[in-house]
Structure 1
Amino acid sequence: MAKVDEQIQINSHKHKKMFIGVVWNCPGEIKLLLSALLFLCSIITVFQFFPSYIRDLRDCAAVPPPLRIQNKKLDDVVLDNGVIKRNFKGYGSAAYNFILMSAYRGGGDTFAVVGLSSKPLHLFARPTYVCEWVPHPATGNNKNISVEGYKILPDWGYGRVYTVVVVNCTFPFPIGEDGSGGQLLVHASTSGGGDTDFDVSDTVEALVEAPGSFHASQLDVPPKYEYLYCGSPLYGDLSPQRVREWIAYHVNLFGERSHFVIHDAGGVHRDVMEVLRPWIEKGYVTLQDIKEEERFDGYYHNQFLVVNDCLHRYRFVAKWMFFFDVDEFIYVPKETTIKDVTDSLLGYTQFSIEQRTMSNKLCYLDDDPGNIYRKWGIEKMVYKDTKRGIRRDRKYAIQPRNVFATGVHMSQNLKGKTMHTMDGKIIYYHYHGTISERREPCRQLVNTTTENADGTPYVVDTTMREAAGAVKRFELRTIGPVLLKTRQ
């Protein structure tokens, strides 16, 4: 038995020596691995003595999990009297309380905040707004000033999921007009809208003025432009040729002291950009990319939102501001100018412009039929709708310093008078739908002075056709031949 035990001890000793030998004589890779493990264990031992804020590296090294809101399901309850009390639990949010687009000064004591808000909230509840001015810390003034905001809904109920809201913040005295700087906050409250158990308020940082960035004298500077155009959102596959005609025509009409603000909601594709570029380089056009607004379901690509932003953004740099579309052409009789018209209306804050509706299918086939497709749209689409007893839309112009909010066809929020009877002093020709397709607009060629199409009577009106030659010469003289090869 003793021999057996001795033999086991000998064999065990041999195995230990064999293991040590194998490890010690193993390849260099295993030696490196063991050294690394030894070093790691040393680091872990020392790491325990580091301060806790150094030891906790999880925030730096780990990717945080997505935020998840825990919604506990509420069960129905049987009351003591046997009545079953049903419970309801809300999840998520159908629409934002407020979506800020912009905020601008309207004077030393007043601001305009332009944005979107949930339409059902404004239809079925009474949301409120409180405006708060926070002086810049450098002033040493720690006293904030709060006033009730006056909300304006300028889209006449046309909103969809969202409606346009212009919040007017008027303080009892001028604030920050000395250039001291500050911050405008708007506290938007749902006032129990949607859920009467909750009055949810959101604080909107509407405007920040750095010290020295504003002084009241800036509001008294004479306007840079005599005329400024505020364009509705452009979207779809627009015709570059129609845009070319429109911009050349109106720069010629409004003159050197005019400017055009174009809003791109997806319609300024590469070929349209090529048409606008020479006019941008000449300083006549500003292009704004507003495609981000497509996230929010408002009326007609949030058209009311865009025109209100344009009103307040440019109200102090323009004497007159015009609102119409790129398939509409403003016209004044030959014996007058656009300045003659606006100067005669200086006593009015707003005037409306009558429409002449043109056929978007009929084209006049005259003595030069071979060149009909080379002519500009205003040269060949000369058939005017003469149907009687119908109401036609109007467009308008305003003196923006007297307007608080605006619409698509007129403003209802202004101080001063409005003129609606223009007696042909100024009109606009409307070629509905001719810009929205990249194709030849002529569907039917006719050579009679009167025509009836789809039950609508038309008569030839060559007013715009006669103006085309001067517009073409103006374009060539102003930007050269760069757009001569523009296609539909």
Structure 2
Amino acid sequence: MKRLAKHSTVQGVVFSLLFAIVLLISLSVLLNRISFGVSSNQGFNLAEVFSGSPAINASVPGAAPSLDSGGDALEIPDTDAVITSEEFGNFSSTAPVVNSPSPRDPVSNRTRTHSRSSHLVPAKSPAPVEANDDDSVEAANGEIRDNRSEGEGPKGQVGTFFDPEVRNPPPIGPESGLDGPVVDGPDEDGVSRLEPSELTKIPPELSPLPGYSGDVTVNSSPIAISSSTNGVSNQTPVLNRGDARQQRMFQPAGLPHYSFVKFSAYRQSLRTFFVNGISSYVARSFDKDKVAHTCEWHPGNGSLPLSMHTDPGAFVETTAEHIYMKSDENRGTYSPTIINCTFKVPVGANRLGGLLVLRISTGYDRWEKNLPILALEEQVNEVNIVSTPPEKIPFKYAFCGAPMHGTVRADWILHWMKYHHYLTEGSAHFFFYNLGGLANSDRPVFNEFINAGLLSITDILDPNLSWDYPTWYFHQVLLINDCLHRSRFMAERVFFFDYDEFLQVPAPDSLKMFMRRHAKEPWISFGSIYANTKDCRLPKPGESETLFERMVWRRPRPECRIQQAKYEGPPVDALHCIGPLGRRKYVANPRKTFAAGVHWVTIPKNGLDLSGNGAHILHYRSAPLPKTRLCSNNVTMDGTDDDGEASVLEDGWIQDDQVSQIFKRAKSYPIVPFIRNAAAGGF
């Protein structure tokens, strides 16, 4: 019984050990696959060790004995077969050895070694060795070299990172079928056949590397690289991507992101300046740093040219405050930004001029914290503009048009100008921002306004503007704020309309009476009502009418894009639908308004959102674009077209010819230089 119990105990221990070994092997395989992927062989594989893998080549002189089928012990040396110090110095000067697959090692063609330590061992530099088909020779002078490729993982680990087909490419030669000329189209296996010489031919447009003479040369010593099949050796030069002479460089792709791109700068008072520009969303999101750190005022001495004062104590410094403009609907790579420089004391009050300098961030946590850029160069006596009294402001109104891009109808824009010129009684100045949409041949159309001093055209003709500095809708928000600040001491009120938007003040009210009632408001927004540009009334016999005069149909209520914007807030009345949902536009007092968007004013928040029943804008959508077909359908005054089959009234349009009647009178209204009557005062 004792013998049986002892036998059972021994048997149990043996089974437990075998079970543990099997479990350990399975666990090793599982961990290996989890760490390096299901198809990867990288890593120390216990299954390969215990299964007597033939990957360890014992036929190489000096190699460690392998665990073969005879059951010899696996001896792991105390020192590793490493790259010696001399080898390390000459590693880049040794040509790679191309080995053919060994019959004893169908998977790998290099000697593998195992080690537990890693240190440099002084040794002689190995001589270059030419490989052959019979042996995977990787040793010189009886020493083993680790021929591990970069990316194969740490030394001393069995396995390889590369796919077997990549490690052992198919032979090139007669046996492979690649010795013939190039055939038309792919073979049955889908591969186009090339001559061996074609594989190593350097294209004529590429100049050879220095020292290239047909063989691969390293340190002016030619090294033959051979690929042999059946004893046939073809010595041809191959491109060694690992060679140090191969060019490596930083090649930027895409677009650079600047912390800040300045566009313009204006003085607001004796202590405050506003700098308009765009800042990178990327820099603001990830750098965790301010776009601009400080503002500096360097006083001038009354002489030109001005220059930054070298005395550190001669300038005044203040913290830069930022106003990031929210795009009303969409975003771009850059965000319109206003930098507010407000000093604690008046600067430039001596009228001798000076320089406004910004310290712009170069990135978060860098050695050089900021870079100086010149924001404004103020000339002698230029500061006097901030003391302009209201009665000395040149114009009552200013109109800031949308950026002109693509192609625009100059005749339509002229209609827009004449209409509002009449509506403001000739007391308005117009600002155009031309981004290439206004052709040179169309400029004479506006000569009357230009010669009268009623139109300013700012050309921004950089063809790469939208590509280099992408932002929403051709920098419209940036240009709106530039126009706002440049008109601060030029007009009492500024309208921000597109060229397809016309202000309508229902009779018997007038623009002058309307503005007097709301003179204290910093800004007033108007509802936007669609006008019909497709259905136009029939031309009047004997009269010379423009297409614009025949557009007499509009929607009864302002637009409100609740459904398009997937609005989920409280119910909104279309008459009071504000902001981008209502497509609203506005008029602002430039001395009380400091930042604005397309459909609303950003600073200040308090203003008047007018009901759509009062003054509003008529939106002749896309009419200034040549691609828009105007008056494609003629209708009678009762709303039916000329063949009597349809009615615009049934489509929800109503008749309103007030704008058409005003334009009839505006066509003949004189365009003369506006002279401000100081006795008339403000509104």
Tell me whether the two structures share a fold, i.e. TM-score over 0.5.
Answer: yes
CA distance in 2, matches of 1:146, 1:78: 56
For 2:668, what is the secondary structure of its paired residue? helix
Aligned partner of residue 99 in structure 1, secondary structure: strand
Partners of 2:528 and 2:559 within 8 A in 1: no
Number of residues of Structure 1 aligned to a counterpart in Structure 2: 390
Give, in angstroms, the shift of residue 203 of structure 1.
2.0
Q: Indicate the residue corresponding to 1:152 in structure 2.
A: 323
| Alignment correspondent of 1:471 | 666
The CA distance in 2 between the partners of 1:137 and 1:79, in whole Å, is: 66
Which whole-Å CA distance do the structure 2 matches of 1:390 and 1:362 have between them?
Answer: 22
SS at match of 1:304: helix
The answer to whether the 8 Å contact 1:251/1:284 transfers is no
Residues in 2 aligned to 1:244 and 1:216: alpha-carbon distance in whole angstroms: 31
The answer as to 2:496 corresponding to 1:323 is yes
Aligned mates of 2:152, 2:369 — CA distance in 1: 27
Range with greater deviation from structure 2 (196-205 or 301-310): 196-205
Letter in 2 for 1:465: S
Query: How far 1:237 sits from its partner (Å)?
Result: 2.2
CA contact (8 A) 1:234 1:265 kept: yes
Distance 1:133 1:442, change over 3 A: same
Of residues 218-227 and 382-391 in structure 1, the stretch that sits farther from structure 2 once superposed is 382-391
Between the aligned partners of 1:341 and 1:285, the Cα distance in structure 2 is: 25
Which of 337, 342, 354 is the aligned partner of 1:170? 342
Give 1:145 shift: 2.3
Partner residue, 1:247: 417
Name 2:47's counterpart in structure 1.
none
Range moving further from structure 2, 132-141 or 223-232:
132-141
**Mapping of 1:108-147 within 5 angstroms?**
108-128=270-290, 129-136=292-299, 138=301, 142-147=313-318
Q: Distance in 2 between matches of 1:185 and 1:388?
A: 46
- Residue 114 (structure 1) shift: 0.6
* SS of alignment partner, residue 402 of structure 2: strand
Q: Deviations over 1:383-431 (max 9, x none)?
A: 213478834311101111111211111211127x401124644211110
Structure-2 change in CA distance of 1:76 and 1:342 (3 Å): farther
Equivalence for 1:407: 597
1:99 aligns with: 261
Dislocated runs of 4+, deviation >6 Å? 75-82, 196-199, 450-453
For the pair 1:279 / 2:442, whether they are aligned, the reply is: no
Deviation digits for residues 11-68 of structure 1 (CA, Å, limit 9, x no counterpart): xxxxxxxxxxxxxxxxxxxxxxxxxxxxxxxxxxxxxxxxxxxxxxxxxxxxxxxxxx
Shift of 1:77: 13
Counterpart secondary structure, 1:429: strand
CA contact (8 A) 2:327 2:472 kept: no
Amino acid at match of 2:667: K
Going by fraction, where is strand more abundant, 1 or 2? 1
Check if 1:234 corresponds to 2:234. no
Partner amino acid, structure 2, of 1:405: A
Partner of 1:265: 435
- Bigger Rg, which one: 2
CA contact (8 A) 2:323 2:339 kept: yes
Query: Structure 1 residues 105 and 343, CA, compared in 2 at 3 Å: closer, same or farther?
Result: same
Q: How does 1:364-403 map to 2 (within 5 A)?
A: 364-365=537-538, 368=541, 375-386=545-556, 390-391=560-561, 392-403=582-593
CA contact (8 A) 2:293 2:370 kept: no
Aligned-pair CA distance for 1:267: 1.6
The one-letter amino acid of 2:316's match is I
- Measured after TM superposition, the shift of residue 381 of structure 1 is 1.7
The 5-angstrom pairing of residues 346-361 of structure 1 reads 346-361=519-534
User: Separation in 1 of the partners of 2:475 and 2:259?
Assistant: 16
Question: Do 2:527 and 2:559's aligned partners in 1 also have CA atoms closer than 8 Å?
Answer: no
| TM superposition score normalised by structure 1 | 0.72
Identical pairs, percent = 25
Whether the aligned pair in 2 keeps the contact of 1:127 and 1:190 (CA below 8 Å) is no
Correspondence for 1:443: 632
Instruction: Render the CA deviation track for 1:118-166: whole Å, top value 9, x for unaligned.
Output: 2222344434122332433649983322222111122437341222111
| Correspondences of 1:177-192 after superposition (within 5 Å) | 177-189=349-361, 191-192=363-364
Q: What letter is aligned with 2:616?
A: I
8 A contact 1:188–1:204 mirrored in 2: yes
5+ residue gaps, structure 2, are 1-149, 158-248, 303-308, 562-581, 641-645, 673-683
> What is the one-letter code of the residue matched to 1:402?
K
Contact 1:127-1:188 at 8 Å conserved across structures: no
Q: Given residue 384 of structure 1, which amino acid in structure 2 is its aligned partner? A: R
1:203 alignment partner, one of 372, 388, 391? 372
- C-alpha contact (below 8 Å) 1:152/1:167 kept by paired residues: yes
CA distance in 1, matches of 2:629, 2:351: 55
How far did 1:473 drift? 2.5
2:491 is the alignment partner of 1:302: no
Cα distance, 1:309–1:137 mapped onto 2, change above 3 Å: closer
SS at 1:234 equivalent: coil
CA distance in 1, matches of 2:380, 2:628: 53
- Partners in 2 of 1:127 and 1:263 — Cα distance? 32
Equivalent-residue separation in structure 2 for 1:81 and 1:213 (angstroms): 77
